[in-house]
Structure 1
């Protein structure tokens, strides 16, 4: 067996020291994180305590008051500078992302692009979204109404390990633009990319204490992080999301969550076989399948099944895996041993109980300690763990279907509803079918990126896949409290002079009819 290939570059001690200086921690405890490509030590980090979390909140509340007092056009300036700065330092951040997650560089690029484009989207629109607005009053010209947006205060944002750069910064940016401060807890394994962009944002003019990072075990820092927040934003598992909900509910604190998925892809009988087979590779195996919106269930119409499946399997079998810090590998490593264990368990159980391996099906320690082949399984049945449970790895189960009603019912037969994909040459047909799928986003002739990267539209989950939305207007406005101020002019909301209440009731009732007729109401 060949020895794993060691990446040609690593992170300098000076860079790691600079980045870890941004962690709010007293330095008493430290932890070492491994590089997924090799399992060798990557960096040693100070670990935050519960006391450090309280210190972060104290600093954040003081900084937030001054930050919120700035005009929105001033708050967005560092983010307008960010896009150019990211482009200039692209190779550096791609290295950081790859080395801490183990993903292929082409998938690290997705994170880079998401942060650059999403933050720019909100920086261009924040002033308009947050400005005070006149609303129609009860009585035209008499009641004047203004809607005002206030920041929540200090937001707790818990980001996942699989897309740490993207799902940290791109959510934190609108929270900050709205006038909040943020206490950010990235996963310990993948916190370097978050520290990297915080370091950059401070250099671009962001006040340091409005974005603070704590790193540590959820058992230590989780409760004080949640208990002191004015709003909670979480991306992660449905299990953890439920626990956070139970924690914040007694305080009536708002929250938004993007949670798990078991996402379906439907290949209709008129789909372009070549295009779909190529697109399915990306839909299923981006970031080694460690993507909440990746495809884990694929339904192919019986009329096209025998042409599509061999082509898809051929594409999967020919995928290049590697540890290169270049764009050549098509898939990288899993990030943790525990993730490799879950993938192996799901596949092994399915095969033992009768599933057929069409491609892949085994670990690849010759490439790296936590690599697993991109895997396609047929004959997966409902009693197998892989059928309904989120695998979160490079595995897809493929099924044959006959009619659209059948496949829609099967696609919806899950507790999840995050993302879905439909492939057809007839886009109108695809849109009609998409509207019947119980998922927050549905992509036609794409796996996930078309919807996710359309920042003007909301993104989130149905059912057990989440609460609230990121992106769109809601992706910024959810970090605000809305206030209505109404002033009354010329007359009061009671009978004038000596007019009786009976007469006043008649006048007001006539007014209702007049306003309807004139389309004032």
Structure 2
């Protein structure tokens, strides 16, 4: 691999070959690195099986500069020409889905089944959606003019590429989340520089490898491997949009930096999603939904059901059914096809979960099942845990809990559940479980979130047709769906005047007659009564037929 491939300076040498080795891992970096070594670690075993050099600040800047040059030619291609590369990518992902899923599982820890369901399937859906619907969404739209003085004009709204898009992506969905943004960015005519989490570098490099294999032109897509300093370096570059997924604190810094330079940002900053279970819900169905919605990916999902509010009338039965199901979950390595719940991403994440649990118990919460670190399985395992006698002000209810802790609260009625659900700085998504769909829709309109699912959970993140994002401290902007594509475009209005022999009635030079005629025209256009319109027709005609303009 030479220095000018589309992934130049992004695939680094392995200091210790501990297993799977990405293709092209021969190019050594230069310059001052943003941080130390970046390790790809198997969370189930603690094994470091791959290491990379962190990219330098100068190299990040060079990636963006090369992407800027490449965008001119890439953006000039027709939509259909760009979409060909996405079709080839989808074919390759489909053919290698098991290989990709195994890589994600090795680096992220999630069960192999979840890697297929939550990483591969949504990615294929996103690519298919933007290939199919992109031409319609981006088709120039005629703008009819309502004002009579503008009837000779023919206006259109057109969409043009932004330029270079910087994406800073997290580790919990290291394949699906970046590609859910990369796909619309590329098909819209932008070039992309991706900075993945330092916990999942190999998954990002797999994306680069696949793009290289389908023949994507040089520098249209690049990966910057490094720690948080590499992300900061990318955010400081002169990009045309920044897409960031991560913590609220870092998201604020990214937004402030971008705002100073008037760079648009899309932020997905996590959530503390509420699940509201009404007394008429199918409890067998709802408890199965809660089980998957909280413990899938070991609870490391922004849209996981992190707080459950159950109407008191069915609270005990709901808890009984749920605990029984939690106790049947199989904890283990993701490579084992029978594993239901894998490890957390790092030991320090286990420490954070233990601290939240200790704080809740110290404040009066009661553990019904789980609650233990499982060092016998590996360094990052923690049992799925159910808590009751939890108060809304405990940290486990107020903070975003990124792990397998599930607090359940009994509420008097739906009104109290809505109050607690909205009493948070977060506003990503929520779910309502009921057999009364009409009531569910009414309650959904009162939840302060970006998405509400009725009788389901989490699935909207992988719904290619629907926009995804939150409100309040959960972020700004939207990804996926039509908005995910349109946010990657610059909107331009083009207006053509087809009549050039009549000068405009508002052009110079001004006089008293013009003043009276423009007043008549306003009355003709916007007067409420028919008589007002009729009596102002003469003045309107004089205005539209004025002579003597400069």
Query: Structure 1 length as normaliser, TM-score?
Result: 0.92
Tell me how far apart the structure 2 counterparts of residues 347 and 25 of structure 1 sit (CA, whole Å).
Answer: 45
Task: Give 1:165 shift.
Answer: 0.6
Residue in 2 that maps onto 1:4: none
Task: Give 1:487 shift.
Answer: 2.1
User: Within 5 Å, which residues of 2 pair with 1:341-360?
Assistant: 341-360=351-370
Distance 1:24 1:474, change over 3 A: farther
Residue in 1 that maps onto 2:545: none
Residue in 2 that maps onto 1:124: 132
Residue in 2 that maps onto 1:37: 44
| 1:420-467 Cα shifts (integer Å, max 9, x gaps) | 011111222211111111110111111111x22332221110110010
User: Within 5 Å, which residues of 2 pair with 1:477-496?
Assistant: 477-490=486-499, 491-494=502-505
Matched, 1:462 2:480: no
Tell me how far apart the structure 2 counterparts of residues 131 and 482 of structure 1 sit (CA, whole Å).
Answer: 12
Distance 1:334 1:198, change over 3 A: same
Matched, 1:503 2:510: no
Matched, 1:154 2:164: yes
Tell me how far apart the structure 1 counterparts of residues 27 and 180 of structure 2 sit (CA, whole Å).
Answer: 19
Residue in 1 that maps onto 2:112: 105
Residue in 2 that maps onto 1:7: none
Matched, 1:18 2:23: yes
**Among residues 43, 46, 58, which one is paired with 2:53 in the alignment?**
46
| 1:260-304 Cα shifts (integer Å, max 9, x gaps) | 211110110011111111111111111011000001100111111
Task: Give 1:354 shift.
Answer: 1.5
Give the secondary-structure state (helix, strand or coil) at the position aligned to 2:87.
helix
Contact 1:145 1:485 in 2 (8 A): yes
Contact 1:19 1:195 in 2 (8 A): no
Tell me how far apart the structure 2 counterparts of residues 199 and 136 of structure 1 sit (CA, whole Å).
Answer: 47
Task: Give 1:22 shift.
Answer: 8.7
Give the secondary-structure state (helix, strand or coil) at the position aligned to 2:21.
helix
Contact 1:158 1:233 in 2 (8 A): yes
Tell me how far apart the structure 1 counterparts of residues 60 and 224 of structure 2 sit (CA, whole Å).
Answer: 7
Task: Give 1:363 shift.
Answer: 0.8
Task: Give 1:237 shift.
Answer: 1.0
- Equivalenced residues, count: 506
Residue in 1 that maps onto 2:4: none
Tell me how far apart the structure 1 counterparts of residues 142 and 29 of structure 2 sit (CA, whole Å).
Answer: 42
Tell me how far apart the structure 2 counterparts of residues 23 and 317 of structure 1 sit (CA, whole Å).
Answer: 49
Contact 1:176 1:182 in 2 (8 A): yes
**Among residues 402, 408, 416, which one is paired with 2:418 in the alignment?**
408
Contact 1:23 1:213 in 2 (8 A): no
Contact 2:392 2:420 in 1 (8 A): no
Task: Give 1:369 shift.
Answer: 0.9
Matched, 1:82 2:89: yes
User: Within 5 Å, which residues of 2 pair with 1:222-261?
Assistant: 222-261=232-271
Contact 2:111 2:337 in 1 (8 A): yes
Tell me how far apart the structure 1 counterparts of residues 32 and 486 of structure 2 sit (CA, whole Å).
Answer: 36
Residue in 2 that maps onto 1:268: 278
User: Within 5 Å, which residues of 2 pair with 1:367-446?
Assistant: 367-446=377-456
Residue in 2 that maps onto 1:211: 221
Tell me how far apart the structure 2 counterparts of residues 57 and 263 of structure 1 sit (CA, whole Å).
Answer: 36
Contact 1:24 1:213 in 2 (8 A): no
Contact 1:42 1:100 in 2 (8 A): no
- Unaligned runs of 5+ residues in structure 1 are 1-10
Query: Structure 2 length as normaliser, TM-score?
Result: 0.87
Tell me how far apart the structure 2 counterparts of residues 431 and 360 of structure 1 sit (CA, whole Å).
Answer: 35
Matched, 1:292 2:302: yes
Contact 1:268 1:423 in 2 (8 A): yes
Task: Give 1:359 shift.
Answer: 1.3
Distance 1:349 1:503, change over 3 A: closer
Distance 1:474 1:221, change over 3 A: closer
Tell me how far apart the structure 2 counterparts of residues 26 and 495 of structure 1 sit (CA, whole Å).
Answer: 60
The structure with more radius of gyration: 2
- Unaligned runs of 5+ residues in structure 2 are 1-15, 534-550
| 1:474-503 Cα shifts (integer Å, max 9, x gaps) | 101111111111122334431699993123
Contact 1:22 1:195 in 2 (8 A): no
Tell me how far apart the structure 1 counterparts of residues 119 and 134 of structure 2 sit (CA, whole Å).
Answer: 22
User: Within 5 Å, which residues of 2 pair with 1:126-141?
Assistant: 126-137=134-145, 138-139=147-148, 141=151
Distance 1:120 1:49, change over 3 A: same
Tell me how far apart the structure 2 counterparts of residues 25 and 269 of structure 1 sit (CA, whole Å).
Answer: 63
Contact 1:19 1:196 in 2 (8 A): no
Task: Give 1:85 shift.
Answer: 1.9
Distance 1:24 1:71, change over 3 A: farther
Residue in 2 that maps onto 1:6: none
Q: CA RMSD in A?
A: 2.5
